Structure formats: C-alpha cells, structure tokens
Amino acid sequence: AIDNASSHIFIMNPYFLPPRPLKKKLRNASQRGVEIRVITCDQSDVPFISMASRHIYEELLREANVRLFEYEGDNTDECANVLHAKMCLIDDVFVSLGSYNWDDWSYTKNLEMNLVIVDNKVA
C-alpha cells in the first residue's frame, strides 16, 4: 500500500523504529509528493525506544512531505500519557489497526496481528 500511495500516509505508533525497507518506502513515497504524518509517543513505556526513535527523525525529516508529532499526554494519569495505539491510514482507502509496531522486532521476530481494510467507505 505504501508503494501505491498517492495522497497521504498517516501512521500512529508508539514504537516507531521502521526497519530500512520501510524507511525507504516512506522516503520514496515522500519523493512522489505523498504527505506523511507520524504520531508517536513523547514518553514510552520502554524509555530507550523514544531515544532510538528520535535518532531517526532527522533522516526522515529531510524529506519535504514528512511531519513527525509526539503525543505528550496530560500528566494526570501515568497510563493516559503512554500512546499505545497502532494505526496506519493510506489515501483514505487502506487502514491497518492492530499490534504491529514499526520496528525490527515486529517486522522480523514478533507474532503480530493487524486488521487490514481496503475500502474507501470504511477507511
């Protein structure tokens, strides 16, 4: 779906460390003029993940159409401050919801499950 995106790719993921193949797909999409927005967490329940994610921000932000946001929560409840949602929406046609994290562990090692819907009425 990323390879065929023509308008936008919106990603929400707490552990945003895309492996090289996914980073390349996002860069290629951006170079085609696709708007890419990523929402990840400011403070993760796995602290080193936030630091590692920030390490790749510069690489992705070199692309003109990439914007990154960090969810900060409201500091009233520890659980409310951790973003744990995993979603990807592409061109209002493709939506993916589930447990897949944009990281090497989910990509190669973990058993993850997502619901994928390709339907412009649902997405």
Residue 108: pLDDT band (50, 70, 90) is confident
Q: What is the pLDDT of residues 11-69, one digit of tens each?
A: 999 888 888 888 999 999 999 999 999 999 887 777 787 788 888 888 889 988 999 99
Q: Which residues pair with 88 in a beta bridge?
A: 11, 96
DSSP state of 68: E
Q: What is the pLDDT of residues 75-84, one digit of tens each?
A: 666 666 677 8
Predicted confidence at residue 80, as pLDDT, reads 64
**Looking at the predicted structure, is the pLDDT value of residue 85 above 70?**
yes
Residue 83 CA to residue 70 CA, distance in Å, equals 9
| Strand intervals (E) in 21-104 | 35-41, 66-71, 87-90, 94-98
**Looking at the predicted structure, is the pLDDT value of residue 113 above 90?**
no
